[in-house]
A and B are shown apart, each in its own frame.
Chain A
Amino acid sequence: MKTSAVFSTFLSLLSLASAASSARDSSTSTTLPATFKPPQVFKNLNLVHVISAEKNYLKESINVLIENIDKAPQDEYFLPFTADQMSRLGGVEVKDRKDATAGLFVAEPVEFDQESDIQYLRIRLPKPLAPGAQQTLGINYYLLKAYSPLPVAIKQEEQQYLTFTFSAYCPSAYTTTKQKTDVKFPSSNIPDYTKLPGSGDIQEFPQKQGSKLTYGPFDEKPAGAVEPVRVRFEFNKPVNHVSRLERDIEVSHWGGNVAFEERYTLYHRGANLSSLFNRVKWQQSQYYQPTTFALKEIKFPLRVGSVDAYYYDVIGNVSTSRFRSNKREALLEIKPRYPVFGGWKYPFTIGWNSDAKNFLRNTATGGFVLNVPFLEGPRQLEGVEYEQVEVRVILPEGAENVKYHTSIPTSSITEAGVQIHKTFLDTIGRTALVIKARNLVDDFRDRELIVSYDYPFMASFRKPLVVFGSAIAVFMSVWAVGNVKLDFETKK
């Protein structure tokens, strides 16, 4: 079968992944001296910086043509970020624009001086770039918590405007010959943006085309040149921010079931209400003007075959949810108990079950391979960002030799390890693979997580035997106690 072929290739990848992870651990521990400056060995010949503010996180992509101006071959390209940006940076993926087969490059933050405001991301080119040679890098990354509302507080029927600051010149550690910056917005309503004097035949930057602003092209700028630009744009949608997502995936071989449970801590980072919530206005606006910046509904398109969805929060079941599950889709639509406005919080829990055969395969060698989505958060028009994600794959009791591979950018994964999780009459506890990641967005919601493990045949009989044995022991001891004669025998 085709799927099994795919799985076996993944298996071979898995061993690579585990090897790579150990190698990465050793590399990140090497800290550079505090006085570190990236060596000026590259030159950016042409750079296009695309900033997309269409969703409630910033998606940036830098396409840059670099040239080695040093005498020796070079394989380390540095990208500068401010310390604040570094903490909000996530989902970094670097690839060669010209060569799709080269795969993803290793990109990781460089630890040198915690106090310094400039931090670097180090991109390792798979092949050292020969002197004078050129390469086109496509760098994609996301910035979370990117906006702040302006005005900070608005009325509940007003439009929400967000603002953020960036540099019109793409921050770079190298001299850039030619560059431009495109900024995309969700709508053409962009009331304020910083204007810069133009160059060449353009009178004034930026140029506005519909919902897009273009700064540039600029001529040569030295390394580290910045030109702060501030934009303010309409974003009449909720600014969803999940500060923590805990996702449990529990595999049961006996039940033939994979159970999912996700616990969200959801915030709305948009504008606060200037006057408190008014139910009359809210009910009226439901009819007259349905678009609002409040979060009214969250939709989770689950994998086909998901059943038994549930939705509750800290004080019990929430009845305002709908779950449609059929052959084509499994859509869970939930409504928060109250419309979530800016500055409000709404933590909740959802969960569902699915047949194990949708996710679990046997391998030829007798092991098992589990292929589940790493993230299955909501699919919202306005996007969702995740600050902390903890995925826990709970394997059956006695599972061993656990390996994993995920297509989530490796720089986003902060921690991974195998723990023991005890539940439901376990004796030695279940093997749980815990993967912690940070700064993810809903663009990654279909990236997969592949876990391979061995599950000895006898391990599956541990629990029935233990339960049976202890029940027998209880009966035997009751019988033994019942046979003890406490009273003195009266002689007849």
Chain B
Amino acid sequence: MSADPLHALASAGKAKSTRSVLRVVILALIAGAAIASRLFSVIRFESIIHEFDPWFNFRATKYLVAHGFYKFWDWFDDRTWHPLGRVTGGTLYPGLMVTSGVIYHALRALTIPVDIRNICVLLAPGFSGLTAIAAYLLTNEMTTSNSAGLLAAAFMGIAPGYISRSVAGSYDNEAIAIFLLVFTFYLWIKALKQGSMLWGALCALFYGYMVASWGGYAFITCLLPLHAFVLICMGRYSTRLYVSYTTWYALGTLASMQIPFVGFLPVKTSEHMPALGIFGFLQLLAFLDYVRSAIPSRQFQTFLWVFAGGSFGLGLAALAIATSAGFIAPWSGRFYSLWDTGYAKIHIPIIASVSEHQPTAWPAFFFDLNMLIWLFPVGVYLCFQELADQHVFIVVYALFGSYFAGVMVRLMLTLTPVVCVAAAIAVSTLLDIYLTAKSPKPVEGQPADGGDGAAKKAVKSGLKSTSKPLIGVYGLYSKVAIVGALTVYLLLFVLHCTWVTSNAYSSPSVVLASRLPDGSQHIIDDYREAYQWLRQNTREDAKIMSWWDYGYQIGGMADRPTLVDNNTWNNTHIATVGKAMSSREEVSYPIMRQHEVDYVLVVFGGLLGYSGDDINKFLWMVRIAEGIWPDEVSERAFFTPRGEYRVDGDATETMKNSLMYKMSYYNYNKLFPPGQAMDRMRGVRLPEVGPSLSTIEEAFTSENWIIRIYKVKDLDNLGRDHASAAAFDRGHKKKKATKKRGPRLLRVD
């Protein structure tokens, strides 16, 4: 045919060694592309840790590097959750920090002086390269087509759904966890296919690493038993399944229990029960298998029903009893919110207040996965076509992953690998079909030959269906059209991924960028300005009160103790801060005194039009505080009678008197001509007279007013209350007690 160059290319790629070299080169390039596309923020800004949670991981890593592993393991952090502290070593997943620490020490041993910060910043891109390779391996287990694996690796490398959590600087558990997730699945499939104990043990090892790294390990803990269960239900129980599952479960559970934070959870909580149940079930099946080989089949039938039904019932009853008796913890709130998306908003506002816990909006799927999302069902369908054990896994994973991704935005992350794998199978199948240069040889005796009639007759005499056994697309135009369209889609996909990564996922959110009129970049660095001020110019043990979002950043950048932080384990403590923020000064002051607060930090976006400020988050503070003190804080009081949330002159009295409102707008009106004060974020004009503060005083305000820090005043020297002391300082006359004086009396002691 006309595809001579194609032939040449294909034959060049035919030699086995050439192919494997090509494959290695392509994989290396894909890994390089995966890393490079995550470096936008480093190039645009600097090598900096992003957002909120990564700052804690970074701080913990620095502690690990400075003090060694055992100190880290026993780390009690008295600089967070003041005055409670936090048993940090026992309440974190150490995998991420230990990984960075190992890399750090390895490089140090080679006398390469790398800052620990740079390791932390570049860890996620580095591991994303590995994830791409893991996706290649996993896909290769699914299909015989070589291109599928490479496509899956490429998709995995640049899919925005994964990039969102793995750009340079986003030093979070997910950075390494997704690699471990995909690789564990690969090892599981490998173990299952071969029934090999070695692969099962490797799977358990990486599962253990995964448990040490991310709370999302429960996804594996639930998915593998589910896969096993589906296989059993399909009547595919085999010794391969038995060997691989029991090896994985026994070793993996032991490994997971080594992590202090997990401890006995694998045998005590409901989330882990399916794995245990399937483990027991497999033992039963193995036993039954043995029995079946030993006794006649008729007796076996009755034996089976009685035995299986009895043990299943018993197991279920035992589970129910153990749960109600408290041996096994019931499902946690975060877990319930996976089933009922409205659950969190009513019962645990703290979980609902995190934007990444919101249900996913439909456009998000297209935004994060682009064309993969419509190729995904095709891939799953193709898996149905073959439906070997490993294809069942993809189907199960696809179903569960899609459900969870729909419930919670952040779980898009767990869906992305299976989407990439399925889409790669779909694309590669399409390409395999349409890219074959080969056409079947025209069958002898076709009319085109114009051969002798007898032979033609003999052929024609057969059934029509048997005469044309070859099905396929052989037209050149259809091939070119389909392949061309696919190529365009793939190119568009790359464009989309780059665009999304560059625009949506590469902002450090600690540093903001704006453009000057001349087009040059201007960095708005208020966060670090204020944190550095705190770090250098306050007492080392000065306690900072702020909303919990900024806790990790204050700990990491300002190095000061905080009251609450992003590890939201203590709802009451957070509600206390919420109450202090949303109450009147007279109520807040005792709370702050009791917690030894020295400084209060608020984020205010009114001057710059910065949307992530505390006034916009304020209602969550109110809601969380109301959850604990319904009598003292009421959300309704912050809305005007018409139900509006306002900050201007029409704001409610409760709003105007709340500490948060006062701290945000204190002195702000003096920046403007009288009566002209504007809140640019909410686009409203503020009242001419700004709020006044008596129990706290302004200590620092950053250049663009994003961070405002207030110092909590000490008790008044003359024993007055702060309101009257402040009034006296402003030159107001002291209010005379209006009580009428009675007739003077001689004092008789």
Residues of A near any B CB (own CB < 8 A): 275-280, 283, 313-320, 337-338, 343-347, 422-426
Contact = CB atoms under 8 A, between A and B. Distances in A.
Contacts of B47: 316
B112 A319 contact: no
B110 interface: yes
B532 A279 contact: no
Contact of B528 (A316, A346, A424): A316
Interface stretch (B263-271, B358-366, B590-598, B699-707): B699-707
Given A275-B697, A276-B698, A338-B700, A345 B536 contact: yes
B603 to A, nearest CB: 15
B529 interface: yes
6 tightest CB-CB pairs across the interface, nearest first? A279-B701, A319-B523, A317-B46, A337-B529, A276-B699, A345-B536
Interface in B674-720: 697-703, 705, 711
What bracket does the count of chain B residues touching chain A fall in? Answer: 20 to 34
B302 interface: no
**Best-buried of A314, A320, A343 by chain B (most CB within 10 Å):** A314
A425 B699 CA distance: 47
Nearest to B553: A315
Given A314-B535, A319-B523, A423-B111, A276 B528 contact: no
A344 B535 CA distance: 11
B19 interface: no
B537 A344 contact: yes
B111 A426 contact: yes
9 contacts: A276-B699, A277-B700, A279-B701, A279-B705, A280-B670, A315-B535, A316-B46, A337-B533, A346-B532
A283 B704 CA distance: 10
Contact of B532 (A276, A278, A337, A423): A337
B525 A319 contact: yes
Contact of A314 (B532, B537, B697, B711): B532
Contacts of A314: 532, 535
B448 interface: no
Contact of B111 (A276, A346, A425): A425
Interface of B: 45-48, 110-113, 511, 523, 525, 528-529, 531-533, 535-537, 557, 667, 670-671, 697-703, 705, 711
Nearest to B528: A315
Contact of B48 (A316, A338, A344): A316
Given A280-B667, A315-B535, A338-B702, 11 more contacts: A276-B697, A276-B711, A278-B667, A280-B671, A314-B532, A315-B528, A316-B47, A337-B529, A337-B533, A346-B536, A425-B111
A424 to B, nearest CB: 6
Contacts of B531: 315
Contacts of A313: 532
A315 B703 CA distance: 17
Contacts of A425: 110-112
Contact of B112 (A283, A318, A424): A424
**Best-buried of B46, B112, B535, B536 by chain A (most CB within 10 Å):** B536
A280 B700 CA distance: 10
Contacts of A346: 532, 536
A358 to B, nearest CB: 25
Nearest to B670: A280
A445 to B, nearest CB: 25
B589 to A, nearest CB: 18
A315 B511 CA distance: 12
A422 B111 contact: yes
Contacts of B532: 313-315, 337-338, 346
A407 B271 CA distance: 73
A424 B111 contact: yes
Nearest to A423: B113
A318 B526 CA distance: 11
